[in-house]
Amino acid sequence: MARGYFASSATTSTTTTSTTTTCLISPSANGLPPPASPPPPAPYNLAKPLGVTPLVRAKTEAWSGYTLATLPARLSARMPLDLAIVPRAHWLSRVRSCLRLLIIVLSGAVVCMLVHTLEIYRGNRYLDLRHGELPMTWPAHTNLAPTIVLLAIASANFLASVAILSLSLKRSFRRPIRSRDAYRIIAGSFGVILWITAIVVFHLLDKASKASLGRYSCTNSATLSNGRFQYRAVCEEQGIAFYTAVGAATAEALTLITLAMSAIRSVKYQASEPTLTVRDKKHSISSGSQIYKPRKRSPSTL
């Protein structure tokens, strides 16, 4: 509602007489909005020196045309993308882990069976005999070399496989590195050679010597001795240990093949280096762009 106030004044002089009327209208008259009050001054509104730009400019309008993909719940949105994106392990790495676990099981079985045969050889001499049983006797110079060689190599391979599998749980150990791949291939080749040596020595010495633990027990496998068929148990466990060692050597060879494939894959991946397209100012525009390959820097210069 508009309000008006009128004031009149009269002035009389000797020559002229004039009347002045003043009309005062409130700001809300005729539906006009009241004038806006000036904004309050910002505190600490210091002038910035010329030539100085802020290090970080937070402009939300710069991100208006982009959409960010949702990150997993276990990752933080503030984490850089280079650190947030974790590549999955290659299928060769998973196959190699399964083979390593199989090697641990097979080599552990070989160790257990050979240790049990040695316990029978050493522990069943002084047991009481039952009716119809004969004392379990062994040759005066029983050849234990085949059993000891296979047992030693199976034990070493078991411990090495456990250590490798424990280290493979670390992501840095599974990462393909050229020098590390070379060491893995050398160690894998050494393990395969040891398995082949143990199998060949066990087979040749067991067949050549009549007094070996395996051959003598197989010859007398039908004899009733203290503890019943102890010779038969030694014969069967020696044979099972031999074929189990063959399986472990095969798994070790397959692991070496996967290592070689991973090394070849890492070399091919490192060979495809990125190239930059740089225009040389010395030449004319018609000469086009030249491919520039970044120069490798030695670690000492970094």
Q: Is residue 23, in this structure, part of any structural domain at all?
A: no
Here the tokens at position 163 are 């250590």
Q: Is residue 34, in this structure, part of any structural domain at all?
A: no
Q: Is residue 242, in this structure, part of any structural domain at all?
A: yes
Burial readout 225-244 (b: 16 or more C-beta within 10 A, e: otherwise): bbbeebbbbbbbbbeebbeb
pLDDT at 98 over 80: yes
Give residue 44's pLDDT.
Answer: 53
175 closest CA partner among 93, 60, 56, 57:
93
Q: Is residue 68, in this structure, part of any structural domain at all?
A: no
Q: Is residue 264, in this structure, part of any structural domain at all?
A: yes
Here the tokens at position 32 are 């006009």
- Strand ranges inside the chain, DSSP E: 4-12, 17-25, 276-278, 290-292
Question: How confident is the model over 136-172, as pLDDT tens digits?
Answer: 677 878 889 999 999 999 999 999 999 888 887 765 5
User: Average pLDDT, stretch 60-75?
Assistant: 51
Q: How many domains does the chain have?
A: 1
The answer to whether the pTM exceeds 0.85 is no
Residue 82: pLDDT band with limits 50, 70, 90: very low
Stronger pLDDT, 105 or 83, i.e. the higher one: 105
Length of the chain: 302
Q: Is residue 182, in this structure, part of any structural domain at all?
A: yes
Residue 152: other Cβ atoms inside 10 A: 14
Work out whether the CA dihedral 189, 195, 196, 198 comes out positive or negative.
positive
Q: Is residue 180, in this structure, part of any structural domain at all?
A: yes
Pairing of strands 17-25, 4-12: antiparallel
CB 102 within 8 A of CB 251: yes
For residue 186, the enclosing domain spans 91-271
Q: Is residue 151, in this structure, part of any structural domain at all?
A: yes
Question: How confident is the model over 192-251, as pLDDT tens digits?
Answer: 999 999 999 999 998 888 888 889 888 888 776 665 677 888 999 999 999 999 999 999
CB 6 within 8 A of CB 22: yes
